[in-house]
A and B are shown apart, each in its own frame.
Chain A
Amino acid sequence: MNLYHPHRMRIDEITDETPDTRTFKLTFQEPTVRDAFQFSAGQFGEYSVFGEGESTFCIASPPTRKGYIECSFRGVGKVTQAMRRLGVGDTLGFRGPYGNTFPIDRMKGHSVVFVAGGIALPPVRCVIWNVLDLRSEFKDVTIIYGAKSVSDLVYKRELAEWASRPDVKLWQTVDPGGQTPDWKGEVGLIPKIVEKAAPSGEDAFAVVCGPPVMIKYTLPVLSKLGFADDHIYTTLENRMKCGLGKCGRCNIGQVYVCKDGPVFTLAQIKQLPPEF
């Protein structure tokens, strides 16, 4: 089997997160592959619809939950729109897992602050559940999540679950104008909410994912709160084809996002040429 040959997965469950974002729960069709499959938080895969092509997403479910993986996607391109036409029981191709991982072991014994915007929650959600499934090994867990509007918030059931847990501090926000009359969360852009929540950077790690503009204005706030550059993690989402460091597409200067990433510390990102 050559390295571009995918495994077949069956779509077991489909959840509509927002009007344009959908989550698939997937299981490997070959039992031997299913049993042997292992991954770590932060890794990604090449998902494919046969006849349409491949697309790159993170694995959105945590490695602590065995036997299946989940991916969340927005139907914007050829492949993701084809994925929206699939139903439960249909076949999807998968190659992976690829890339590096979030350093869960390094975070153990510390507090973790998660900051995510819009459709960037899936890679963070994988780490959130990984941490929550091993809850006793971490100190405070703070989640700050925002989207343009209430209807753009993904994983709404899980947000409700996190909100009800006493061992999680959840801050939800929507951009001004995105709130509904019964919205109980915050209204305001994420950097403002991070400032308001003011999680301590002492003895803590931050995981930040979102659109470039959100990241740009959130990082200075985290720095002010005392988070060191090498304690702030994010993922870069460059366009990829092979996922294996061969196709020459995802590099930022000398760094191949598919192999050196997708997880980087702020300290590492500051060394990259400004081309992402």
Chain B
Amino acid sequence: MTSTIVSQADLSALVARLVATDTRVIAPVATPQDARRSEYRPIQRFEEAALGGPLPRRSLKEFFLPPSEVLLRYRQRKDGVDLEEVPTTFTPAVILGARPCDAAGVETLDKVMGWGTRDELWFGRREATTIVSLACPGVDSTCFCSAVGLGPDATRGADALLVPLGRASVQASSEVAKELGHMVDGFLSHAQPSADGAAGAGDASAADPEAGVAYLARAVTAKGEALLSGLGKPLADPADVELAEAFARSARERVAQNVAALGLAPNGRLRLETRLGISAADGGELLDPRLRALEQGTGVAVLPEWLARNFDHELWKTLALRCHGCGACAAVCSTCHCFDIVDEHDSYGAGARRRNWDYCQSAKFTAHASGHNPRRSQTERFRQRVIHKFSIYPRRFDAILCTGCGRCARACGAGMNLPEILGRLVQLARTEPTGSDA
């Protein structure tokens, strides 16, 4: 796979070409109400996108598992029911500027959507979509992607990766983000006024600190290669590699600090002195794979077995006390995929069967018609959420059902903080390795 240098003009031309050939292009866009907020949305022109803006408020999953999706349509006749199938092939789409955590979330979900019976609605969209990730500067102190085996420049789930060559605001925004800490509106993140305080909301540079920068573009899959082919100029200047490495290093440092503060770093120690080993000739890994494994050796790796053994641990009784069961965490999560299937009438005798997002924190989620409910209280429901992500899914599918995006902690109205809870669990797993009941 080759690496190239693409400019904003190159990306603009790419988007124009895609839109002209009826390909949907989806990118982070500053929301009309508030330029400091971002959402993944379809765009017509590259200039609508704010690639380097704050972390989009919702993950990418809605483009593969829509919040409400028609499974079939029905129409009642006098002597029966007519059923109409829904298509399982989809318009080609390109997601430009996906956060690495969101791209990884989509690939993680391939496993549950593909085991046993293949979900054609999911895979139809997966096959029609090319994901171009954008290396992330690290959003705020809630990011913990490297604790779950990813990283701000991870390529899991991506067909191609863009790494910004320079970004003036990274350092400044890092300081601001530290001060912000766990403020409810974590989405403010690095979209802060520049050092002289001149830029404000609505200013293009505030929404996108990467305005004007070029990117090192690297294809990860054949799909990505096809998309990037002929785009930009060959990677020739070693200084460009330096810039990309500097960006990745700075982003990794920021996330590593978070992960260390949460107690989720491997052996509790930071490993910042990694040698970035990109080769201009072959466009290889940004990091030497061996060093990457060392740095990303996940603190949560102890959890799958420990959680399975500690189903009745005392800790569960107190962890969920603040949970309202509202489901905000599941809605913004990049990997929560539970759904309901319901029929909705459009008109008399006709309507659609739909698959709607659902969430395991709801009291009705597992309630039987008889009134019996295996998960009676929020304690059991919160335990289910945690063990599904960090024990059931890893043991079943060999992947952690979490990408460390931190959205659940930012969205929670009650201040539940999954990263911090993970830190406590990992701590317990290290101090009580044989289990509470042993």
A residues whose Cβ falls under 8 Å from a Cβ of B: 1-6, 8, 29, 48-54, 76-77, 80, 89, 91, 93, 212, 237-239, 241-242, 244-254, 259, 273-276
- Given the known A-B contacts A91-B80, A247-B338, A253-B311, are A3 and B117 also in contact in the complex, defined by CB atoms under 8 Å? yes
CA–CA, A260 to B311, complex, Å?
20
Contact indicator B343/A52 (Cβ below 8 Å):
yes
For B85, the chain A residues whose CB sits under 8 A away are: 1-2, 5
- Asked if B230 is at the interface of the complex by the 8 Å CB criterion, the answer is no
B436 to chain A, nearest CB (A): 14
Interchain Cβ contacts under 8 Å between A and B, 30 examples = A2-B71, A2-B72, A2-B85, A4-B71, A4-B341, A5-B83, A6-B72, A48-B353, A53-B343, A53-B353, A76-B369, A89-B79, A93-B81, A238-B366, A238-B368, A241-B358, A244-B119, A245-B117, A246-B113, A247-B340, A248-B112, A248-B337, A248-B338, A251-B392, A252-B374, A253-B308, A253-B392, A254-B391, A254-B396, A275-B384
B333 to chain A, nearest CB (A): 12
Chain B interface residue bracket vs A = 35 or more
Q: Does A249 lie within 8 Å of B392, measured CB to CB?
A: no
Determine whether the beta carbon of A242 is less than 8 Å from that of B339. Answer: yes
With A5-B83, A8-B81, A91-B80 as contacts: A275 and B372 at CB distance below 8 Å: no
Q: How far is the CA of A1 from the CA of B337 in the complex (A)?
A: 22
A246 contacts across to B, CB distance below 8 A: 112-113, 117, 119, 337, 339
Contact with B115, one of A8, A245, A253 (Cβ below 8 angstroms): A245
> In the complex, A81→B337 CA distance in Å?
29
Please determine whether A53 and B342 come into contact, CB atoms closer than 8 angstroms. yes
Q: Using Cβ atoms and an 8 Å threshold, which residues of chain A touch B116?
A: 244-245, 259
Contacts of A242 in B (CB 8 A): 339, 341
Most buried by A among B72, B120, B343, B384: B343
- CB contacts (< 8 Å) of A212 on chain B: these are 372
Nearest-Cβ distance from residue B53 to partner chain A, whole angstroms: 31
Inter-subunit contact A275/B374 (CB<8 Å): yes
In the assembled complex, how far is the CB of residue B398 from the closest CB belonging to chain A, in whole angstroms?
Answer: 13
Chain B, Cβ-Cβ closest to A5: B72
Contact A239–B368 (Cβ < 8 Å)? yes
* CB pair A51 B370 closer than 8 Å: no
User: Chain B residues near A238 (CB, 8 Å)?
Assistant: 366, 368, 374
Confirm or deny: B292 has a beta carbon within 8 angstroms of a beta carbon on chain A: no
Q: Which residues of B contact A76 (CB under 8 A)?
A: 369-370
- A53, B372: Cβ atoms under 8 Å? no
Q: How far is the CA of A230 from the CA of B373 in the complex (A)?
A: 27
B431 CB, min distance to chain A CBs, angstroms: 22
CA distance in complex: A252, B113 (Å): 19
| B395 interface residue (CB < 8 Å to A) | yes
Query: Could you tell me if B71 and A275 are in contact, using CB atoms closer than 8 angstroms?
Result: no
A4 touches which one: B81, B355, B365, B374 (CB < 8 A)?
A: B355
| Shortest Cβ gap from B87 to chain A (Å) | 9
**A-chain residues with CB within 8 Å of residue B372 when the two chains form the complex:** 212
User: Does B430 sit within 8 A of A, measured CB to CB?
Assistant: no
Q: How far is the CB of A92 from chain B (nearest CB, A)?
A: 9
- Asked if A251 contacts B388 (CB within 8 A), the reply is yes
User: For the complex, would chain B's binding face be called helix, strand, loop or mixed by DSSP majority?
Assistant: mixed
Q: Is B293 an interface residue (CB 8 A)?
A: no
Considering only CB atoms, which chain A residue lies closest to B76 in the complex? A50
Contact with A along B65-86 (1 / 0, CB 8 A): 0000001101010011101011
A50 and B308 form a contact (CB under 8 A): no
Q: Which residue of B lies closest to A259 (CB)?
A: B116
Beta-carbon contact of B119 and A3 below 8 Å = yes
Check if B416 is an interface residue, CB within 8 A of chain A: no
A88-B23 Cα distance, complex, nearest whole Å: 49
Closest-by-CB residue of B relative to A52 is: B343
Instruction: Decide yes or no whether B351 CB sits under 8 A from chain A.
Output: yes
- Excluding A5-B83, A241-B341, 10 further A-B contacts by CB distance (< 8 Å) are A2-B120, A8-B80, A29-B80, A50-B83, A51-B349, A239-B365, A239-B366, A246-B113, A247-B338, A259-B116
Q: Sort A-B residue pairs by CB-CB distance and give the 10 closest, nearest first.
A: A248-B338, A50-B74, A273-B311, A4-B71, A77-B369, A91-B81, A76-B369, A53-B343, A244-B117, A254-B392
Is B213 part of the binding interface, using a Cβ–Cβ cutoff of 8 Å? no
Distance from A112 Cβ to chain B, minimum over Cβ atoms (Å): 27
A237 to B343, CA, bound (A): 23
Query: What distance in Å separates the Cβ of B343 from its nearest Cβ neighbour in chain A?
Result: 5
Docked pose: A245 CA to B358 CA in angstroms: 15
CB neighbours (8 Å) of B236 from chain A are none
User: How many Å lie between the Cα of A67 and that of B351 in the bound state?
Assistant: 30
> Are A4 and B339 in contact (CB-based, < 8 A)?
no
Taking a contact as CB atoms under 8 Å apart, the answer to whether B120 and A254 are in contact is no
B360 within 8 A of A: yes
Answer whether residue B407 sits at the interface, using C-beta atoms and an 8 A cutoff. Answer: no
When distances are taken between beta carbons in the complex, the residues of chain A under 8 Å from B339 are: 241-242, 246-248
Whole-angstrom CA separation of A29 from B392 in the bound complex:
40
> How many angstroms between the C-alpha atoms of A250 and B308 in the bound complex?
17
Q: In the bound complex, do residue B343 and residue A51 qualify as a contact, i.e. CB atoms below 8 Å apart?
A: yes
Q: How far is the CB of B348 from chain A (nearest CB, A)?
A: 10
Rounded to whole angstroms, the CA-CA distance of A249 and B358 in the bound complex is 10
A245 to B112 Cα, complex, angstroms: 7
| B275 proximal to A (CB < 8 A) | no
Q: Does B302 contact A (CB under 8 A)?
A: no
* Interface residue B62 (Cβ < 8 Å from any Cβ of A): no
Residues of A with C-beta under 8 A to B355:
4
B279 at interface, CB cutoff 8 A: no
Q: Using CB atoms, name the residue of chain B closest to A1.
A: B85
Residue B285 is within 8 A (CB to CB) of chain A in the complex: no
Q: With A and B bound together, what is the CA distance between A244 and B341 in angstroms?
A: 13
Chain B's nearest CB lies how many Å from the CB of A49? 8
